C-alpha cells in the first residue's frame, strides 16, 4: 500500500493559536505598570501602616478610566474587554494588594450588578458615575450567618406602600464606607416562592436613613482597603430600587460571582508575580558563603518553580477572560483560575519569604505585606472548597 502523505503547506493545518497580547492590551499593561511603580509604590507602606484608604489614588484611577474598564462607554466605562480588566487588576495587585481589591470589588461587585440587570434609570443614576470613576460602589452578599452558604440570607425587605423596608446586616463588605462610596447593592429575602425564600437585589444609596455603616474592620492583611459591617434598621428605599426582576437575586449573584472570580484570580497572579520579583531581586543581591544566593541551585529551583507556576496561573486567568469576552460559558474556567491562583499565591509568597530568610519576617520589607495579603485569596469570593464544588458540578459529578 502506498504511503499516505500529508499535503504540504500551511493550508492543511488549522490556524495557530495567537498567544500574543494585542497592541492595545500590551499598551494598557505597560501604562498601568509604569504608573504603579512610579506613582503608587512609594506611598504604599505609609497607607498600609496607617490603615488609610487611598482616596486620591482611587480618584486618579477613575480619571484615567481604570475603574470601569469592561463596561460600555455609554454606561460610563472605557469600552474595553474582560481581558483588559484582568490585566489591569493583575498589574495593580503586583504592587499593592489593597488597591487591587478596591478596584476589583468596585468594578466586579459594585458596577457589575448594575451592568447586568440595571434599568436605564439605575444605570444613569448609579452606574455611569461609578464606572467613570467619580464614586465607587459595593455589593453586600455575605452576612454573619451566611458566608459560603449565600442562599441562607437573613436580611429581609418588605414592600410597604411603594417602598422596600430593609432589616438585617451584611459583613465583610468592601468599599461601602469611604468618602467616595455611592451605594451598595444587597441581597435580601423579599418573600417566598414554592416554599423557598425569594431572594432579590436592592440598591441602597449611602446616606439612606436606617442604613448604618460600622467603623472599619481590622484585618490581617489588605490594611488600606475598606471593609465594614452594614446594618439596616427599617431602612426604606424606593420600590424602583429593585435590581432586575423580583426573585432574580440568586441567579444574579451567581453570575456576578462567576465574573468576579476572574478578577480575584488576576489579583492572585499579580500578587505572586510581585512576590517573585522581590525574591528574584533579593537573591541576586544577598551574599552568603561568599556567593550571591541566586547562584545556589536550591534558590534557582525555587525561582524556576515560581516562574513556571505563575505562567500557568496567568494562562488560566486569561482563558477565562477570553471565554467571557466571546459570550461562551466560563464559570468552570473562572472557578479553576480562582482556585489555582489563590493557592499559587500562597506557595509563591511562602517561598519568596523563605528566600529572604530572617529579613523577610521583618515588616520593613514588602514581602511581609505580601505574606499577609495572600491568605484571603483562598477565602474571599468563594473559598477554595466552594471553587472545588463548582468545578465538580461542571464536571458532572
Instruction: Output the DSSP codes for 93-149.
Output: HHH-HHHHHHHHIIIIIIIHHHHHH--HHHIIIIIHHHHTTSSEEEEE--BTTBSS-
> Residue 129: which residues within 8 A CB-CB, separation 6 or more?
76, 135, 182
Among 46, 255, 381, 385, the active-site one is: 381
Task: Answer whether 178's CB lies under 8 Å from 184's CB.
Answer: no
C-alpha cell at 397: 459529578
User: In the beta sheet, which residues pair with residue 292?
Assistant: 287
Q: How many CB atoms lie within 10 A of CB 37?
A: 13
- Give the whole-angstrom CA distance, residue 155 versus residue 292: 58
User: In the beta sheet, which residues pair with residue 227?
Assistant: 174
Give the 3-state secondary structure of residue 290. Answer: coil
Task: Answer whether 275's CB lies under 8 Å from 370's CB.
Answer: yes
CA dist 181 → 62, 68, 71, 267, 326 (Å): 13, 15, 19, 22, 32
Task: Answer whether 232's CB lies under 8 Å from 168's CB.
Answer: yes
CA dist 30 → 44, 100, 391 (Å): 20, 16, 33
Please calculate the CA angle 49-104-187 and round it to the nearest 5 degrees.
Answer: 110
Q: Could you confirm whether 381 is annotated as catalytic?
A: yes
- Give the whole-angstrom CA distance, residue 356 versus residue 150: 40
C-alpha cell at 103: 478596584
**Pure H helices in the chain:** 23-35, 44-50, 55-63, 82-95, 97-104, 112-117, 120-122, 128-131, 249-285, 297-325, 331-356, 366-374, 384-394
**Residue (of 380, 374, 165) closest to 257 by Cα position:** 380
- Give the whole-angstrom CA distance, residue 182 versus residue 127: 10
Residues annotated catalytic, as ranges? 381
Amino acid at each position: 500500500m502506498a504511503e499516505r502523505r500529508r499535503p504540504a503547506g500551511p493550508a492543511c493545518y488549522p490556524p495557530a493559536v495567537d498567544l500574543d497580547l494585542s497592541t492595545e492590551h500590551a499598551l494598557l499593561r505597560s501604562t498601568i505598570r509604569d504608573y504603579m511603580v512610579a506613582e503608587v509604590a512609594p506611598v504604599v507602606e505609609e497607607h498600609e501602616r496607617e490603615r488609610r484608604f487611598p482616596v486620591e489614588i482611587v480618584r486618579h484611577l477613575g480619571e484615567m478610566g481604570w475603574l470601569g474598564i469592561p463596561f460600555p462607554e455609554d454606561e460610563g466605562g472605557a469600552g474595553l474587554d474582560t481581558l483588559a480588566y484582568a490585566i489591569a487588576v493583575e498589574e495593580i495587585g503586583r504592587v499593592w494588594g489593597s488597591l487591587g481589591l478596591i478596584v476589583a470589588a468596585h468594578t466586579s461587585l459594585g458596577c457589575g450588578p448594575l451592568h447586568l440587570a440595571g434599568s436605564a434609570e439605575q444605570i444613569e443614576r448609579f452606574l455611569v458615575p461609578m464606572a467613570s470613576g467619580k464614586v465607587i460602589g459595593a455589593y453586600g452578599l455575605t452576612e454573619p450567618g451566611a458566608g459560603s452558604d449565600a442562599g441562607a440570607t437573613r436580611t429581609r425587605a418588605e414592600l410597604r406602600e411603594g417602598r422596600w423596608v430593609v432589616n438585617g446586616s451584611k459583613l465583610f463588605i468592601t468599599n461601602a464606607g469611604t468618602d467616595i462610596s455611592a451605594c451598595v447593592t444587597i441581597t435580601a429575602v423579599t418573600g417566598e416562592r414554592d416554599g423557598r425564600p425569594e431572594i432579590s437585589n436592592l440598591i441602597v444609596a449611602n446616606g439612606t436613613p436606617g442604613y448604618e455603616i460600622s467603623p472599619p474592620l481590622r484585618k490581617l492583611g489588605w490594611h488600606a482597603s475598606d471593609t465594614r459591617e452594614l446594618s439596616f434598621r427599617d431602612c426604606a428605599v424606593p420600590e424602583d430600587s429593585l435590581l432586575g426582576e423580583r426573585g432574580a437575586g440568586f441567579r444574579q449573584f451567581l453570575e456576578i460571582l462567576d465574573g468576579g472570580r476572574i478578577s480575584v484570580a488576576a489579583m492572585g497572579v499579580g500578587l505572586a508575580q510581585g512576590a517573585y520579583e522581590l525574591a528574584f531581586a533579593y537573591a541576586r543581591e544577598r551574599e552568603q558563603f561568599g556567593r550571591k544566593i541566586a547562584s545556589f541551585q536550591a534558590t534557582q529551583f525555587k525561582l524556576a518553580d515560581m516562574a513556571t507556576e505563575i505562567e500557568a496561573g496567568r494562562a488560566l486567568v486569561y482563558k477565562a477572560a477570553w471565554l467571557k469576552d466571546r459570550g461562551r460559558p466560563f464559570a468552570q474556567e473562572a472557578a479553576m483560575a480562582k482556585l489555582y491562583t489563590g493557592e499559587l499565591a500562597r506557595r509563591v509568597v511562602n517561598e519568596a519569604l523563605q528566600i529572604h530568610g530572617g529579613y523577610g519576617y521583618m515588616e520593613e520589607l514588602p514581602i511581609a505585606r505580601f505574606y499577609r495579603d495572600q491568605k484571603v485569596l483562598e477565602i474571599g469570593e468563594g473559598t477554595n472548597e466552594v471553587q472545588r464544588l463548582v468545578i465538580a458540578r461542571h464536571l458532572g459529578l
